[in-house]
Structure 1
Amino acid sequence: MDSRYPLNDTSRLLSPSLLIFRTILERNLEAMIALAGGADRLRPHVKTHKMAEIVRLAERKGIHKHKCATIAEAEMVAQAGGTDVLLGYPIVGPNIDRLARLIRGFPETLFRVLVDHPDSARALSSGLEGLAKPLSVLIDLEVGMGRTGIEPGASAEELALLIEGLPNLVLDGLHAYDGHIQEADLDERKRAAAPGVEKTLRLQERLRQRGIAVPLLVLGGTPTFPVHAALDRPGVECSPGTCTLHDNGYATKFPDLPFVPAAVLLTRVVSHPRPGRLCLDLGHKAVAADPVGARLALLDIPEATLGGQSEEHLVVETPHADQFPPGTVVLAIPTHICPTCALHRRVYVIEEGELVDEWDVTARDRSIGF
């Protein structure tokens, strides 16, 4: 097996399953802190792992700010002791009431949300009537992703003025996610990210001149993490997610990033139907469906070519198939770890080759309590 992932005894490990190698995870967190220039400049996105134990581990290392995508993830962070949670997703419909109940349920936690439209701001303001204190909001800016956000021009200034005048809300920052930037070369990523950063900083300055303070700047994801970490400005927070556990997709595409995949899939050979062919119990119910045709990297089977994959089966072609009888354990690194985690209710935790714990993937569901 790969020397990075020692396993002394696999007899108790079900397959398919997801293993977290805790030492690698801790090193990734420490590398994140070092790259950011301090834990106070980090707001990692918990949607990658969705696990309370990883939030607690981050907190013990001094990371006290977190980002999430669902109310369930926000609740999970609060339950784990997180005191500063940014819900980086538009809150609309019944989720506004859920958010209000969540805020009341965890009064010691500072919750923040994103807003990118006047109607959303008004609905939030109305739905949060009766809270003990106003909700902190950040304006979500469109800097090229083409998904959510408002253009960082006059319309964003008007939205800021609106929020300033609404009850139950307080404006305290800007959010700019540039997940569309996927250039392999770091210098190219810097050039691609520069226009979005410049627009964000210009908007912050224009708002300051109008008497509106937005000191908090939450920027980027994992690919542009080194770009935003290099910004020497007060209030900048980097919000990478994937690199907490990392995956084969980013490890292959961005070799400059100082992270190692900490989450590994364990599968077994279930059939050797003919020469040169194996079948593993690693269907698409256990690994993320994207990208098509390259969902994982097998670690232990030489000259392997991935064949068909269905719900519970993965066909592998290799001239060495005879060396892998049914029952053989095989490890694989997922290409996209975030949705892979959501497919597993619990994970095995490995340290120095031994099974030391099991962690719940608490926020894989859309609702926990609220």
Structure 2
Amino acid sequence: MQNNWWKINRDTQIDTPFLAVYEDRMQSNIDSLIAAVQGDLSKLRPHIKTHKIGEVLELFKKNNIDKIKCATIAEAELAAMYQVSDILLAYQPVGLKKQRWITLIEKYRDATFSTIVDNLKSAKELNTIAKKNNLQLTVYLDLNTGMNRTGVALSEDWIYLARSIMKLKHLHFVGFHIYDGHVKGAIENRTVEVAESFQNIIANINQLQEETNQKFLVVAGGSNTFPFYATQENVECSPGTFIFWDLNYSTNLPEQDFKTAAVLVGTIISQPTPTTFCIDIGYKSVASENTLDKRLVIINDENLIPISHSEEHLVLENHGNYNYKVGNTIYALPYHVCPTCNLYETVQVVNNQKDIYTNWKVLARNKKISI
């Protein structure tokens, strides 16, 4: 990789392990995001689940991106605290989350909040609590296009469900939400798969618009399908990982012009054999839901191969000739940056001079901020 961009000036480093993020590369990623929608900022509603950081929201706003999507009430509160104007909770509020959602809306009255529903029972429950609090809640209908996680299946009469929700007086129905993270493979295959289902969805939405004389919004996609939705009219796109990017997407989404901007920094703490050594990036410091070969890659030396992993330790086998010593610094790219970031209370921010000059708190990693 060019110019050893990841190297941090030693006199500004902190004790390892830590997660470093790079200002110039984050800005480059925001620029690429905007370029992908040809400068039409109305199409952008980035997901904040990757970073969960208020200062990143300030970067968005500096670049005139003022709508976000989130997965938790803590993330929604973070966005409201940083005065993001339009906040979509893409997680159906049920149980105690309903009251937390109401409390959030009442506390931050300057923000516009919306959420999703995928069944009439949950919609009626939200309608009831909204009536009790003299509110009207803005909702989208969540569509299941094949991920089978949330949403009403396309095989069901989801247009009828939409009509039923529109009759609830304390809900303001504004459109449809799609997340199709199951769509993978080469860009050509992803495009064909998502285009087929989206064409049918839009045809039904257009018919409903004609019947109701109402224009509906569509919030769609994540990183995998962003290239498709970026070219569609009247669609808000919700990629999230773009801000940091990671090894997974660098490998599997090569058509997208984003740069890895988050790096794990560790230290060699032991050398148990002549060809192996141990660093302090255990699986408490990097997302480890995947097999060992898909957790991280050492970027300062491709000859260092992970061979065992435990809570505080990662053992590497040296297939090269460089003679590493205890105390040497090791840099690594996480395979999955979203849950990796969630493991850190703060991230260390690296400027163009390769100095760590501040840290940002990953505030919304908490299950609760104040609500």
Q: When the two structures are superposed, what TM-score results if normalisation uses the length of structure 2?
A: 0.95
| Aligned pairs for 1:214-225 within 5 A | 214-225=215-226
Distance 2:369 2:34 in 1: 30
| Structure-1 separation of matches of 2:213 and 2:159 | 9
What letter matches 2:62 in structure 1? R
Question: How far is 1:290 from its partner?
Answer: 2.8
CA contact (8 A) 1:222 1:243 kept: yes
- Give the superposition deviation at 1:40: 1.6
Decide whether the 8 Å contact of 1:302 with 1:318 is kept in 2. no
- 2:97 counterpart residue number: 95
2:158 alignment partner, SS class: helix
Q: How many Å separate the matches in 2 of 1:265 and 1:296?
A: 9
Q: Offset at 1:256?
A: 0.7
* SS of equivalent to 1:19: strand
The equivalent residue for 1:146 is 148
Q: Structure 1 pair 326/107, CA: closer, same or farther in 2 (3 Å)? A: same
Give SS of 1:98's match.
Answer: helix
The one-letter amino acid of 1:99's match is W
Name the CA distance, whole Å, in 1 between partners of 2:264 and 2:321.
Answer: 20
What is the CA distance between 1:169 and its match in structure 2?
0.7
Aligned identity (percent) is: 34
Number of the residue aligned with 1:258: 257
1:36 corresponds to which residue? 37
Kindly state the Cα deviation for residue 167 of structure 1 after the two structures are TM-superposed: 2.6
Deviates more, 1:32-41 or 1:100-109: 32-41
SS of 1:47's equivalent in the other structure is coil
Deviations 1:2-54 (A, max 9, x none): 62223122564121110010110011011101102322210100001000110
The separation in 2 between residues aligned to 1:121 and 1:308, in whole angstroms, is 48
Contact 2:105 2:113 in 1 (8 A): yes
Shift of 1:158: 2.0
In structure 2, distance between residues paired with 1:212 and 1:145: 31
Match of 1:282 in 2: 281
In the alignment, structure 2 segments of 5+ residues that lack a partner are: none
Q: Deviations over 1:228-281 (max 9, x none)?
A: 1111x2x31010011111001000111111001111111110111111001000
In 1, Cα distance between equivalents of 2:52 and 2:175: 25
Please give the secondary structure, in 2, of the residue aligned with 1:323.
coil
1:16 partnered with 2:33: no
Is 1:241 the counterpart of 2:244? The answer is no
Give 2:55's match in structure 1, choosing from 46, 53, 56: 53
Match of 2:112 in 1: 110
Match of 1:328 in 2: 328
1:270-321 Cα distance to aligned partner (Å, 9 max, x none): 1111110010000000101132221011112341221111000000001347
Q: Is contact 1:301-1:318 (8 Å) kept? A: no
Q: 1:10 to 1:139 in 2, by over 3 A?
A: farther
- In structure 1, the residue matched to 2:356 is 355
Local SS of the residue matching 1:129: helix
Distance (whole Å) between structure 1 residues aligned to residue 130 and residue 141 of structure 2: 18
1:158 maps to 160
Greater CA drift, 115-124 or 207-216: 207-216
Q: Secondary structure at the match of 1:46?
A: coil
CA offset at residue 92 of structure 1?
A: 0.4
The 2-side partners of 1:297 and 1:288 are apart by 12
Is the 1:278–1:321 contact (alpha carbons within 8 Å) kept by the matching residues of 2?
Answer: no
CA distance in 2, matches of 1:138, 1:88: 9
Distance 1:214 1:291, change over 3 A: farther
Classify the secondary structure of the residue corresponding to 1:357: strand
Aligned residues of 2:136 and 2:171 also touching (Cα < 8 A): yes
CA distance in 1, matches of 2:201, 2:55: 34
Between the aligned partners of 1:269 and 1:297, the Cα distance in structure 2 is 15
**CA distance in structure 1 between the aligned counterparts of 2:228 and 2:23, rounded to whole angstroms:** 27
Q: Distance in 2 between matches of 1:355 and 1:103?
A: 37
Quote the Cα distance in structure 2 between the aligned partners of 1:267 and 1:10: 15
Instruction: Specify the code of the residue in structure 2 equivalent to 1:325.
Output: K
Q: Is residue 196 of structure 1 aligned with residue 202 of structure 2?
A: no
1:168 aligns with 2:167: no
- Asked if 1 retains the 8 angstrom alpha-carbon contact of 2:305 and 2:319, the reply is no
CA contact under 8 A between 1:21 and 1:350: conserved in structure 2?
Answer: yes
**1-side partners of 2:215 and 2:15: how far apart?**
49
Cα distance change of structure 1 residues 132 and 25 upon mapping to structure 2, 3 Å threshold: farther
Q: Distance in 1 between matches of 2:74 and 2:100?
A: 10
Given the two structures, how large is their TM-score scaled by the length of structure 1?
0.95
Deviation string, structure 1 residues 138-158 (Cα, Å, up to 9, x no partner): 100011111111123662122
Partners of 2:288 and 2:148 in 1: CA distance = 22
Matched residues, number: 367
**Partner Cα distance (1:214, 1:174) in 2:** 11
